[in-house]
Amino acid sequence: MKEKTDHILVLKSNGDKVPFEKDKILNALKYSGAGKEESYHILQQIESKLYNGIPTSKIYQLAYSLLKKKKSHRTAGRYRLKKAIFELGPSGYAFESFVSLLFESWGYQVKTDQLIKGKCILHEVDVLATKPGVITFVECKFRSDYRGKTDVKVPLYIHSRFNDIEAKWRKMPEYKNMEMKGFVVTNARFTKDAIEYAECAGLELISWDYPAESSLKYYIDKSGMHPITSLNSLTKAQKSFLLNEGIILCRELVKRTDALQKIGLNEKQINKILMETRLLISK
């Protein structure tokens, strides 16, 4: 098997061609909850379909379809998590709601779409998150293009806005001794320069895979906060309807079966969706 795939080059989303690495597939399947035997079986089937220049997205789709065929609803849903995060669009409003729920899970009280006066100008803040002794200003950067990255201009801009707000709020008695943080959260990735600047400036960043143990994929799986876009049993139109109804997470959907009835689904269809939902969010 090793000799067969050593020479295969795969096409990444940024246009680069790199050697196929089976360990990356095995690790992704393991992270998704697939067993060792199941993961190796799926890898063998993927390797039998490889060819030079195969897009990584094609490999992803193949792995996901094989997981579904095995009726591993929970594993398949977790495997397609990255794509599910990119489906929280196109306006980005659902992503902002998702981020606010994430901060709530960390013990913050949150407000969204806030107009906050700084020392110099008025600022729109996507999420204002507070808890005793801490105020956090969060900017959400949603990208519909999974190949794109959030570059250094974003943390530069957000940091200057945060400094303007902090300069005013530090002079207000009720905030004088509170810890203040600025965050940028994106569903995509940050460039190297963006990360280096944020680390130097003291600005917090969260992306799909950064920081390693504080990333979106880490927190989502740890907390069970899977978005409804992870569900294979829902169509794109049905997901869009539910997002517009303010239902962002799978765990919310379990409590809002009335929304599924509004779509016009029958009891059998609703039960199928709820079964997949419960499997996905179960520990």
What are the tens digits of pLDDT across the range 20-64? 888 878 877 765 567 788 788 888 888 888 889 888 777 877 776
Separation between Cα atoms, residue 86 and residue 148, nearest integer Å: 12
155-175 pLDDT, tens digit per residue, is 999 999 999 999 999 999 988
Q: Which residue has the higher pLDDT, 279 or 245?
A: 245
CA distance 33 to 40: 13
DSSP state letter for 227: B
Closest by CA position to 233, among listed 89, 88, 87, 68 = 68
Report pLDDT for 77: 61
Architecture of domain 93-223: 3-Layer(aba) Sandwich (3.40)
| CATH of the domain spanning 226-281 | 1.10.150.20
Both tokens of 179, joined, read 């810890």
Tell me the pLDDT tens digit for each residue of 67-104: 666 555 556 666 667 788 888 876 668 999 999 999 99
Residues near 150 by beta carbon (within 8 Å), at least 6 away in sequence: 141, 143, 184, 186, 188, 189, 190, 191, 194, 207
Closest to 147 measured CA to CA, from 192, 194, 191, 81: 191
Name the burial class of residue 14, with classes exposed (0-12), middle (13-18) and buried (19+) by CB atoms within 10 angstroms of its CB: exposed
Output 239 or 275, whichever has higher pLDDT.
239
